[in-house]
Amino acid sequence: MSINVMKFGGTSVANISRIRNIVKIIEEKIYSTGEKIVLVVSAMSGVTNKLVLEYKKLNTNISTPEYDVILSTGEQHSSALISTMLNEKKISSRSILGWQIPIITDNNHSQARILSINSKLIKSYFKKYKVLVVAGFQGVSHENRITTLGRGGSDTSAVAIAYSLGLKSCEIYSDVDGIFTSDPRVVKNANKIDSITYEEILELASLGSKVLHPRSVELAMKYGIKIHVRSSFKRKLGTMVVKEENKIEKEVVTGITSSENEAKITLKGIPDKPGIAAEIFGALARANINVDMIVQNITDDGKFASLTFTVPIDDQNKAVKELRKSKIKFKKIHSNDNICKISIVGVGMKSNVGVAQKMFETLAKKNINIQVISTSEIKISVLIDLPKKKMALNALHIAYGLKK
Ligand code: ASP
Ligand code: MG
Looking at the domain assignment, is residue 130 inside a domain? yes
Q: How far apart (Å, rounded) are the C-alpha atoms in residues 216 and 202?
A: 10
Is residue 366 domain-shared with residue 294, that is, in the same domain? no
How many C-beta atoms lie closer than 10 Å to residue 287's C-beta? Answer: 16
The two most distant CA atoms of the chain are separated, in Å, by 81
Atom of ligand 1 nearest to the CA of 153: 8
Cα–Cα distance list, 107 to 130, 145, 217, 239, 360 (Å): 32, 8, 22, 34, 47
Is residue 328 domain-shared with residue 354, that is, in the same domain? no
Q: How far apart (Å, rounded) are the C-alpha atoms in residues 299 and 277?
A: 16
Residue nearest to atom 8 of ligand 1 (CA): 152
Question: What separation in Å is there between the alpha carbon of 133 and the centre of ligand 2?
Answer: 17
Query: Cβ distance 322 to 283 under 8 Å?
Result: yes
CATH code (residue 139): 3.40.1160.10
Assess whether pLDDT exceeds 80 at residue 109.
yes
DSSP state of 85: H
DSSP state of 35: -
Ligand closest to the CA atom of residue 174: 2
Looking at the domain assignment, is residue 243 inside a domain? no
Looking at the domain assignment, is residue 316 inside a domain? yes
CA neighbor of 310 nearest in space, from 340, 288, 287, 332: 340
Confidence of residue 363 (pLDDT cuts 50, 70, 90): very high
Pocket flag, ligand 1, residue 348 (CB < 6 Å)? no
* Rounded average pLDDT over 292-315: 91
CA neighbor of 52 nearest in space, from 42, 62, 40: 62
Identify the weakest region by mean pLDDT among 13-17, 72-76, 145-149, 187-191: 187-191
Assess whether pLDDT exceeds 60 at residue 138.
yes
Atom of ligand 1 nearest to the CA of 152: 8
CATH code (residue 373): 3.30.2130.10
CA angle 351, 210, 60 (to 5 degrees): 130
Is residue 150 domain-shared with residue 292, that is, in the same domain? no
Q: What's the pLDDT at 207?
A: 61
Is residue 279 domain-shared with residue 344, that is, in the same domain? no
E strands within 32-130? 36-41, 93-96, 103-105, 114-117
Q: How far apart (Å, rounded) are the C-alpha atoms in residues 46 and 338?
A: 29
Question: Could you give the number of structural domains in the chain?
Answer: 3
Atom of ligand 1 nearest to the CA of 150: 9
Ligand closest to the CA atom of residue 52: 1
* Rounded average pLDDT over 276-288: 94
Looking at the domain assignment, is residue 293 inside a domain? yes
Identify the weakest region by mean pLDDT among 54-58, 92-96, 191-195, 300-304: 300-304
Looking at the domain assignment, is residue 252 inside a domain? no
Looking at the domain assignment, is residue 202 inside a domain? no
Q: How far apart (Å, rounded) are the C-alpha atoms in residues 39 and 95?
A: 9
Is residue 40 domain-shared with residue 162, that is, in the same domain? yes
Is residue 153 domain-shared with residue 284, that is, in the same domain? no
Q: How many residues does the chain have?
A: 404
Give 253-277 pLDDT, tens digit per residue. Answer: 999 999 999 999 999 999 988 999 9
Confidence of residue 251 (pLDDT cuts 50, 70, 90): confident
Is residue 321 domain-shared with residue 384, that is, in the same domain? no
Q: What b/e string do you get for 180-218 counting C-beta neighbours within 10 Å, with b at 16 or more?
A: bbbbeebbeebbbbebbbbbbbbbbbebebebbbbbbbe
Identify the weakest region by mean pLDDT among 90-94, 183-187, 339-343: 183-187
Q: What's the pLDDT at 350?
A: 87
Residue 258 pairs with which residues in a beta bridge?
Answer: 342
Alpha-carbon torsion, ordered 318, 322, 325, 327, to 10 deg: -160
Q: How far apart (Å, rounded) are the C-alpha atoms in residues 227 and 170?
A: 5
Is residue 9 domain-shared with residue 79, that is, in the same domain? yes
Question: What separation in Å is there between the alpha carbon of 36 and the centre of ligand 1?
Answer: 24
Amino acid identity, residue 155?
Answer: D
Pocket flag, ligand 1, residue 152 (CB < 6 Å)? yes
Pocket flag, ligand 1, residue 310 (CB < 6 Å)? no
Looking at the domain assignment, is residue 192 inside a domain? no
Q: What's the pLDDT at 249?
A: 65
Would you list the DSSP string of 148-203? E-STTTHHHHHHHHHHHTT-SEEEEEESSSS-BSS-TTT-TT--B-SEEEHHHHHH
* Rounded average pLDDT over 225-232: 96
Q: How far apart (Å, rounded) are the C-alpha atoms in residues 341 and 191?
A: 21
Confidence of residue 351 (pLDDT cuts 50, 70, 90): confident
Question: What separation in Å is there between the alpha carbon of 39 and the centre of ligand 1?
Answer: 15
CATH code (residue 292): 3.30.70.260
**For residue 387, what are the domain limits?**
339-399
CA neighbor of 401 nearest in space, from 252, 188, 187, 204: 252
Q: How far apart (Å, rounded) are the C-alpha atoms in residues 217 and 29?
A: 25
Q: Chain-wide mean pLDDT for the chain?
A: 94
Query: Cβ distance 168 to 224 under 8 Å?
Result: yes
Assess whether pLDDT exceeds 70 at residue 209.
no
Is residue 160 domain-shared with residue 94, that is, in the same domain? yes
CA neighbor of 182 nearest in space, from 393, 398, 355, 8: 393
Pocket flag, ligand 1, residue 42 (CB < 6 Å)? yes
Is residue 9 domain-shared with residue 66, that is, in the same domain? yes
Residue 322 pairs with which residues in a beta bridge?
Answer: none
The domain boundary residue, chosen from 287, 304, 336 = 336
Mutate which of 39, 71, 151 to test ligand 1's pocket (most atoms within 8 Å of Cβ)?
151
Higher pLDDT, 186 or 251: 186
Looking at the domain assignment, is residue 225 inside a domain? no
Pocket flag, ligand 1, residue 43 (CB < 6 Å)? yes
Pocket flag, ligand 1, residue 11 (CB < 6 Å)? no
Give 367-400 pLDDT, tens digit per residue. Answer: 999 999 999 999 999 999 999 999 999 999 999 9
Three-state SS at 247 = coil
Is residue 90 domain-shared with residue 151, that is, in the same domain? yes
Is residue 20 domain-shared with residue 168, that is, in the same domain? yes
Pocket flag, ligand 1, residue 153 (CB < 6 Å)? yes
Cα–Cα distance list, 96 to 117, 139, 228, 293 (Å): 13, 11, 23, 44
